[in-house]
């Protein structure tokens, strides 16, 4: 009897086909995330002992930064420090839900890893202060939780002001609290994050009111304070856990006795809070923002938020992947130079007499920029003063006249001569600062502050088109803060100095002249002037306007500027990148090395810059790892691969007013990065806090460019001791999140651009060895910053003498962040793991690629990347993937062949049966 042939099942074919499709998808994903996978599976050999040693040092530095960054805003009747000899004060009641869920950092690439953060209660215990555990349990049982999520692909920031309703506090709990301690500590938190939105100005969808913004008290918080006040504790202390200034007018109601601002304390900063409360550490931080009673009263707030060109709506997604509407946004920096204290300290000054309307000022400002209290008292005086060869030198003698050891901050401001109708000038501008060592009671120290006269020149964007140092009387002021004068000296300029094409400033490589005329506005913008506050203050600003055809056309025109150029030479000179280590940027040897690099290699180097610089085989350039971020090592898309210590938020570091401590942080952070095999860090973040509500303000330093610039310079100087390069970011004018990643158009005048927004970067580049910069999402005027030749070539490289590489930010929109336009302007490569082909291979395009390659290779050659050996040209995981592909394809081929053979046999058998054979 003939054996019956079984019909082959189609199910197995479908399954195998699906598996092949899945494998194809895996291959595509592996190509898109080549850098990330490589870093995850192919890290350099890590010295675990070195990693732990650097981590221990980092934790210590974090605690020290927080100790010096905490700002005491209020201390009525010497409420603090606590009496550590009294059980009723070493035991404290901690009110506020966020006491069990503090904000240690922020959300996004600038955030730190909070897995190992010291909890509030543990930090207080380290100083011998015991929190009421019954209250703690009450909050843990409340059922409240935050939706903040900083996982990959989700930059969700929960802006709900979580608080337990006072009706939930039962009488027994409150009575036990009264018996437990004479001290109540109210803990209030605010968070900020990178994403598509800034801090909310309308809380109606987040449990609040439409006329309530995020940085004022909620109704529940007010009720909590009232409840605590009604319990008649001997001491009520408020701790503000926010990297943003808050509206604190309620402190004048007498319900709070002492207030400490702690910002985002990072991994070990809660220990510092305990030390300050216990009196082991004397607070010495100073505010780096103006605390106005109404934070929306700043003129910049009139042009902040969702302003967009009508008819430009498009379907988009939030950072959380939810459907949303995007816009071609714009923002007018109509406030000009009057940002932060430059506005508040000038607004009520009589232009003729220089007198200040104190009543009006005090009605607007609660705590000035540079404000902070201490447990002791200091006396400052100008000990020595000179102006020689264009350098101003002021020596301040600081004496501790109190009875407690502590540190003090020295602040020197300049008041420049102002002519009504002339160049805009703020009444006071920070020119220099320093911090004393620890001074015992009766101890003194002389702190020297130096700066150049050319540093206080103003940019005349209307007439001269350059920096101008007007003739007249200059007053150099030793101040407690931006408002209170301690001592001063005057200097008279007999003649105006114009720093034009024929008379550059000594710190510039080429003259700083008009380069951003086209950025002043697509419409006539009235910029704020102290000559006419009422007439120039922006009012009733519409949130939409029409774009001209010329402006709209630029949004979709990605044609690179074409110039005549010779073709590049590709020739093997037998050189290796290692041969160029230590060579000057303009050494002729670079030309020979660059001739060895092929167009394909350059394209990959430029187009695959996400968290790495790529291998270049022709010159034996090694792979190097670059990671976020400003507050600690953060592997954004492979968090389990690297675990660094989390530093305080940037604003806390700035609040120390300690340049040396910034350098210590950089050195410690850099050593930790080197121990992990990391060559570059995306940070520090150093944009100006233009308003109090910028979502990313937590990672920025201040509203002031001088303190921002010197903090960043200290960080970079410290990193350089470990040959780790910093991408100082975001260059430039990235001051709001709303519409940012869609390429928001940013309009401003050149005086504000230079004096406010470029100044921190200028200080950093000119005062330390910066070799890497990150451009920003936004446009400067109507040109993406990465495609702005005036910004990246003329100013950064030309005027400031920067030698190094510029990377883009992460390209959410693949259109406007154009690689071809970027390399011609000075943006050398793209921060993407999914790859971006450089399609322009014209002679000019190849020459631009070669220049970009020079910038990248020069930076890498002078970094620790040359010391690491990650792997050969092809990482081993790729071999495994190739092997799996081959096995899968061969296996599938054999399967299909057999299946096809069986199918033919089956069909033949059926055919035979039907014919009765």
Domains annotated for the chain, with CATH where assigned, are 27-50+553-867 (3.20.20.300), 71-282 (3.40.50.1700), 342-523 (2.60.40.10)
**Residue 875 contacts by C-beta under 8 Å, 6 or more apart in sequence?**
38, 41, 42
State the residue for tokens 């003649």: 495
Cβ atoms 748, 339 nearer than 8 A = no
State the residue for tokens 């020079």: 854
Cβ atoms 737, 686 nearer than 8 A = no
Q: pTM for the complete prediction?
A: 0.94
Residue 901: what are its φ and ψ, rounded to 5°? -65, -45
Q: Does position 319 have pLDDT exceeding 70, yes or no? A: no
CA-based max dimension of the chain: 121
Report cis status (omega within 30 of 0) of the bond before 684. yes
CB burial class (10 A; 0-12, 13-18, 19+) of residue 443? middle
Q: How far apart are the first and last CA of the chain?
A: 12
* Alpha-helix runs per DSSP H in 509-581: 533-536, 549-554
- Per-residue pLDDT, 232: 96
CA distance 483 to 287: 12
The model's pLDDT over 114-149, given as tens digits with 9 standing for 90+, comes to 888 999 999 999 999 999 999 999 999 999 988 775
- Helix (H, G, I), strand (E, B), or coil: what is residue 10? helix
CA distance 298 to 233: 37
Element (H, E) at 846: helix 843-861
Cβ atoms 614, 861 nearer than 8 A = no
Nearest Cα neighbor of 773 from 740, 812, 741, 800 is 800
Cβ atoms 356, 477 nearer than 8 A = no
Give how far Cα 684 sits from Cα of 23, 401, 654, 714, 773, Å: 40, 37, 12, 10, 10
Tokens read off for 810 = 């992460």
Q: Which residues of 187-202 are buried (b: 16+ CB within 10 A; e: fewer)?
A: bbbbbbbbbbbbbbbe
- Per-residue pLDDT, 498: 98
Give residue 4's pLDDT band: very low, low, confident or very high (50, 70, 90): low
CA distance 559 to 904: 57
Cβ atoms 5, 904 nearer than 8 A = no
State the residue for tokens 């390399």: 823
Strands (E), 720-874: 725-731, 745-747, 772-775, 779-780, 783-784, 805-807
What's the whole-number mean pLDDT along residues 581-595? 97
Cβ atoms 773, 804 nearer than 8 A = yes
- Per-residue pLDDT, 872: 45
Cβ atoms 777, 751 nearer than 8 A = no
CA distance 64 to 663: 13
**Residue 723 contacts by C-beta under 8 Å, 6 or more apart in sequence?**
674, 862, 863, 864, 867
- Per-residue pLDDT, 621: 95
CA distance 590 to 178: 74
CA distance 316 to 370: 42
Element (H, E) at 75: strand 71-75
CA distance 752 to 333: 8
- Per-residue pLDDT, 863: 96
The model's pLDDT over 869-912, given as tens digits with 9 standing for 90+, comes to 654 445 667 778 788 888 888 887 888 788 777 777 777 776 66
The model's pLDDT over 613-640, given as tens digits with 9 standing for 90+, comes to 999 999 999 999 999 989 999 887 666 6
- Per-residue pLDDT, 29: 74
Give how far Cα 610 sits from Cα of 203, 484, 539, 586, 637, Å: 36, 48, 43, 27, 10
Residue 592: other Cβ atoms inside 10 A: 17
Share of the chain above pLDDT 90, in %: 79
- Per-residue pLDDT, 45: 67
**Residue 94 contacts by C-beta under 8 Å, 6 or more apart in sequence?**
120, 121, 131, 132, 135, 136, 185, 187
The model's pLDDT over 270-296, given as tens digits with 9 standing for 90+, comes to 999 999 999 999 999 999 999 999 999
Tokens read off for 310 = 């009508």
State the residue for tokens 């092997």: 883
Residue 50: other Cβ atoms inside 10 A: 14
Tokens read off for 244 = 């943003």
The model's pLDDT over 426-458, given as tens digits with 9 standing for 90+, comes to 999 999 999 999 999 999 999 999 999 999 999
Nearest Cα neighbor of 258 from 314, 185, 194 is 185
Cβ atoms 870, 623 nearer than 8 A = yes
Q: Does position 460 have pLDDT exceeding 80, yes or no? A: yes
Residue 581: what are its φ and ψ, rounded to 5°? -60, 125
Cβ atoms 877, 41 nearer than 8 A = yes
- Per-residue pLDDT, 592: 97
Element (H, E) at 394: strand 391-400
CA distance 713 to 760: 9
CA distance 156 to 578: 44
Q: Does position 320 have pLDDT exceeding 90, yes or no? A: no
**Residue 574 contacts by C-beta under 8 Å, 6 or more apart in sequence?**
none
CA 131 from chain centre, in angstroms, equals 34
Cβ atoms 257, 239 nearer than 8 A = no
CA distance 843 to 468: 41
Q: Does position 385 have pLDDT exceeding 60, yes or no? A: yes
Strands (E), 423-483: 429-435, 444-452, 458-460, 466-469, 472-479
- Per-residue pLDDT, 873: 45
Tell me the helices (H) and strands (E) count for the chain, helix number first.
Answer: 24, 32
The mean pLDDT value of the chain amounts to 92
CA distance 212 to 209: 5
Cβ atoms 822, 774 nearer than 8 A = no
The model's pLDDT over 213-234, given as tens digits with 9 standing for 90+, comes to 999 999 999 999 999 999 999 9
State the residue for tokens 């950072």: 319
- Per-residue pLDDT, 94: 98
CA distance 376 to 388: 36
**Residue 225 contacts by C-beta under 8 Å, 6 or more apart in sequence?**
186, 217, 250, 255, 256
**Residue 187 contacts by C-beta under 8 Å, 6 or more apart in sequence?**
94, 95, 96, 98, 99, 102, 120, 239, 241
Asked which of 54-68, 87-101, 319-333 is least confident by mean pLDDT, the reply is: 319-333
């Amino acid at each position: 009897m003939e054996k019956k042939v079984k019909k082959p099942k189609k199910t197995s074919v479908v399954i195998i086909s699906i598996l092949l499709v899945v494998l194809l998808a895996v291959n595509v994903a592996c190509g898109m995330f080549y850098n990330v996978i490589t870093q995850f599976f192919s890290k350099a050999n890590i010295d675990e002992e070195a990693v732990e040693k650097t981590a221990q040092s980092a934790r210590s530095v974090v605690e020290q930064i927080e100790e010096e960054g905490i700002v005491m805003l209020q201390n009525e009747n010497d409420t603090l420090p606590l009496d550590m000899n009294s059980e009723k004060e070493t035991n404290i009641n901690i009110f506020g839900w966020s006491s069990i869920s503090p904000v240690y950092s922020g959300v996004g690439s600038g955030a730190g890893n909070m897995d190992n953060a010291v909890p509030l209660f543990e930090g207080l215990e380290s100083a011998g202060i015991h929190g009421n555990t019954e209250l703690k349990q009450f909050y843990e049982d409340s059922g409240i939780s935050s939706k903040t999520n900083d996982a990959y692909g989700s930059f969700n920031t929960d802006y709900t002001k979580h608080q337990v309703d006072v009706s939930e506090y039962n009488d027994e709990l409150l009575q036990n609290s009264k018996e437990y301690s004479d001290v109540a500590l109210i803990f209030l938190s605010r968070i900020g994050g990178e994403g598509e939105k800034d801090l909310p100005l309308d809380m109606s969808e987040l449990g609040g009111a439409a006329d309530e913004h995020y940085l004022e008290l909620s109704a529940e918080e007010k009720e909590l304070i009232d409840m605590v006040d009604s319990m008649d504790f001997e001491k009520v202390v408020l701790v503000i856990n926010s990297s943003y200034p808050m509206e604190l007018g309620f402190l004048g109601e007498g319900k709070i006795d002492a207030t400490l601002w702690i910002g985002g304390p990072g991994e070990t900063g809660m220990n510092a809070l305990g030390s300050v409360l216990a009196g082991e550490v004397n607070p010495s931080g100073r505010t780096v923002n103006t605390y106005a009673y109404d934070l929306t009263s700043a003129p910049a707030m009139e042009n902040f938020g969702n302003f967009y060109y009508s008819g430009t709506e498009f379907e988009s997604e939030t950072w959380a992947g939810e459907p949303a509407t995007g816009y071609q946004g714009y923002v007018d920096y109509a406030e000009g130079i009057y940002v932060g204290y430059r506005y508040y300290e000038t607004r009520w000054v009589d232009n003729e007499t220089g007198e200040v309307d104190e009543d009006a000022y005090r009605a607007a400002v609660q705590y000035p920029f540079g404000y902070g209290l201490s447990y002791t008292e200091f006396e400052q005086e100008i000990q020595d003063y000179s102006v020689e060869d264009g350098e101003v030198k002021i020596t301040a003698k600081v004496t501790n006249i109190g009875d407690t050891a502590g540190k003090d901050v020295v602040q020197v401001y300049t008041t420049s001569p102002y002519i009504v109708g002339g160049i805009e000038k703020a009444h006071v501008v920070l020119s220099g600062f320093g911090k004393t060592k620890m001074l015992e009671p009766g101890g003194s120290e002389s702190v020297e502050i130096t700066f150049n006269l050319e540093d206080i020149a103003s940019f005349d964007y209307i007439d001269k088109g350059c920096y101008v140092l007007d003739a007249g009387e200059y007053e150099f002021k030793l101040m407690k803060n931006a408002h209170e004068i301690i001592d001063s000296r005057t200097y008279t300029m007999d003649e105006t100095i114009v720093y034009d094409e024929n008379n550059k400033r000594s710190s510039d490589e080429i003259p700083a002249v008009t380069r951003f005329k086209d950025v002043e506005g697509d419409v006539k913008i009235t910029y704020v002037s102290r000559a006419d506050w009422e007439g120039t203050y922006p009012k009733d600003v519409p949130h939409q306007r029409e774009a001209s055809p010329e402006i709209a056309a630029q949004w979709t025109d990605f044609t690179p500027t074409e110039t005549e150029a010779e073709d590049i030479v590709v020739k093997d000179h037998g050189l290796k990148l290692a041969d160029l280590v230590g060579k000057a940027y303009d050494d002729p040897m670079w030309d020979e090395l660059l001739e060895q690099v092929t167009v394909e290699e350059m394209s990959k180097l430029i187009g695959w810059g996400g968290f790495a610089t790529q291998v270049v085989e022709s010159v034996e350039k090694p792979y190097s790892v670059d990671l976020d971020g400003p507050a600690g090592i953060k592997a954004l898309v492979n968090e389990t691969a690297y675990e660094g210590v989390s530093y305080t938020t940037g604003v806390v570091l700035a609040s120390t007013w300690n340049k040396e401590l910034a350098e210590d942080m950089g050195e410690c952070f850099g050593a930790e990065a080197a121990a992990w095999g990391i060559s570059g860090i995306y940070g520090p973040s150093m944009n100006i806090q233009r308003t109090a509500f910028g979502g990313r303000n937590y990672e920025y330093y201040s509203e002031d460019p001088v303190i921002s610039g010197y903090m960043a310079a200290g960080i970079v100087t410290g990193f350089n001791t470990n040959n780790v390069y910093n991408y100082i970011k975001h260059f430039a004018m990235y001051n709001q999140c709303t519409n940012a990643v869609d390429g928001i158009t940013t309009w401003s005048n050149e005086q504000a651009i230079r004096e406010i927004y470029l100044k921190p970067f200028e200080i950093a580049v000119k005062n330390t060895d910066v070799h890497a910069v990150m451009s920003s999402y936004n446009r400067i005027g109507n040109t993406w910053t990465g495609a702005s030749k005036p910004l990246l070539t003329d100013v950064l490289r030309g005027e400031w003498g920067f030698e190094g590489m510029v990377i883009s930010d992460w390209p959410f929109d693949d259109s406007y962040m154009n690689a071809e336009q970027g390399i011609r302007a000075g943006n050398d490569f793209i921060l993407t793991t999914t790859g971006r082909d450089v399609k322009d291979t014209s002679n000019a395009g190849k020459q631009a690629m070669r220049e970009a390659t020079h910038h990248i290779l020069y930076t890498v050659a002078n970094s620790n990347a040359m010391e690491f050996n990650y792997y050969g040209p092809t990482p081993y995981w790729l071999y495994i993937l190739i092997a799996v592909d081959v096995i899968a394809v061969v296996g599938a081929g054999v399967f299909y062949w057999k299946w096809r053979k069986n199918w033919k046999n089956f069909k033949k058998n059926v055919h035979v049966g039907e014919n009765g054979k």
